[in-house]
């Protein structure tokens, strides 16, 4: 097991968190990887921190690039087009991997050539049941299950780079839920699985909505999710009954998130 992994890290004004993110990559038990850092128009001290880290770790394969601020989808696509690995992993600049993260996932993917994308849990989550679906250690995520709940959180995902030849790149016109739409396209064409182990800490372990950053804009996130569900229906990935059911379930989740966010802000 020695496949080369390209780790793609978009950065925008992350001076307070970038060192922790980079350190979590550097200490991975799995060693055969490159780091592609795409500075997406940062105007804080992110670049200074990145260059200092690069200087302190001369043995790491770090490729640093800069572009004007064009958004996270553009930054990820920039990295994808320069990736040399046969596998792709994403991490964001306020996230941290546990040191066994890549090793666990690469072990699973090496044992089964039918797995093209593999996510894991985050923030100490562990799933037992979702509706009638019983979760084991390794679980196939169907398009319907994914549209009901996003089990493919971006910093937890590893996938085979050959996927790009069919599904292409992130839609840079989407500013919200762009990863949800991209992974939906992958799942519609390839086998995707969830490793039911928590190997990532996202956003400092905060709740995934109602806080700073893109996730704080619940309404626009919901718009992006609903557009993706509609796209899945138009592409006939789901039938009409499934579309209506999933669409309204998404609206119910949105109302619940709004309520919880309002409650948190009132404390």
Task: Report how far residue 53's alpha carbon sits from residue 2's, in angstroms, rounded to the nearest whole number.
Answer: 25
Q: pTM for the whole thing?
A: 0.91
CA distance 190 to 58: 37
Look at residue 4 and tell me whether its pLDDT is greater than 50. yes
CB-CB contact of 130 with 48 (8 Å):
no
* Dihedral of alpha carbons 161, 167, 172, 177, sign: negative
pLDDT (average), residues 111-138: 93
Please report the pLDDT score of residue 216 as a whole number.
56
- Exposure string of 65-79, with b = 16+ CB inside 10 Å and e = fewer, is eeeeeebbbbbbbbb
Instruction: Determine the pLDDT at residue 137.
Output: 94
Phi, psi of 256 (to 5 degrees): -65, -45
pLDDT score of 213 more than 80? no
Please tell me the predicted confidence (pLDDT) of residue 221: 86
Q: Quick one: pLDDT at residue 208?
A: 52
Q: Which two tokens stand for residue 87?
A: 């596998």
Encode pLDDT of 65-91 as tens digits. 999 999 999 999 999 999 999 999 999
Rounded mean pLDDT of the chain? 91
pLDDT category at 210 given cuts 50, 70, 90 is very low
pLDDT at 207: 52
pLDDT at 132 over 60: yes
Where on the phi/psi map is residue 235: left (φ > 0), alpha (ψ -120 to 50), or beta? alpha
Confidence of residue 98 (pLDDT cuts 50, 70, 90): very high
Tell me the average pLDDT across 174-194: 94
- Measured CA to CA, the distance from residue 226 to residue 43 in angstroms comes to 33
d(CA 125, CA 224): 24
């Amino acid at each position: 097991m020695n496949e080369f992994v390209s780790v793609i890290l978009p950065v925008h004004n992350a001076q307070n968190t970038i060192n922790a993110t980079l350190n979590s990559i550097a200490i991975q038990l799995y060693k055969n990887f490159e780091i592609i850092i795409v500075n997406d128009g940062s105007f804080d001290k992110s670049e200074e921190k990145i260059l200092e880290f690069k200087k302190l770790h001369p043995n790491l394969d770090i490729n640093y690039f800069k572009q004007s601020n064009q958004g996270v989808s553009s930054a990820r696509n920039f990295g994808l087009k320069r990736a040399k690995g046969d596998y792709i992993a994403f991490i964001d600049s306020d996230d941290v991997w546990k040191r066994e993260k890549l090793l666990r996932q690469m072990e699973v993917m090496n044992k089964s050539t039918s797995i093209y994308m593999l996510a894991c849990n985050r923030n100490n989550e562990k799933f037992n049941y979702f509706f009638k679906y019983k979760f084991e250690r390794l679980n196939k995520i169907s398009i319907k299950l994914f549209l009901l709940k996003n089990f493919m959180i971006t910093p937890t995902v590893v996938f085979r780079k050959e996927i790009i030849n069919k599904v292409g790149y992130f839609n840079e016109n989407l500013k919200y839920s762009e990863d949800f739409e991209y992974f939906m396209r992958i799942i519609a064409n390839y086998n995707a699985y969830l490793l039911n182990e928590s190997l990532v800490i996202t956003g400092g372990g905060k709740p995934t909505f109602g806080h700073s950053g893109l996730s704080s804009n619940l309404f626009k996130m919901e718009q992006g999710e609903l557009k993706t569900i509609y796209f899945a229906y138009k592409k006939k990935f789901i039938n009409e009954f499934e579309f209506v059911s999933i669409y309204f379930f998404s609206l119910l989740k949105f109302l619940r998130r709004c309520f919880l966010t309002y409650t948190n802000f009132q404390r």
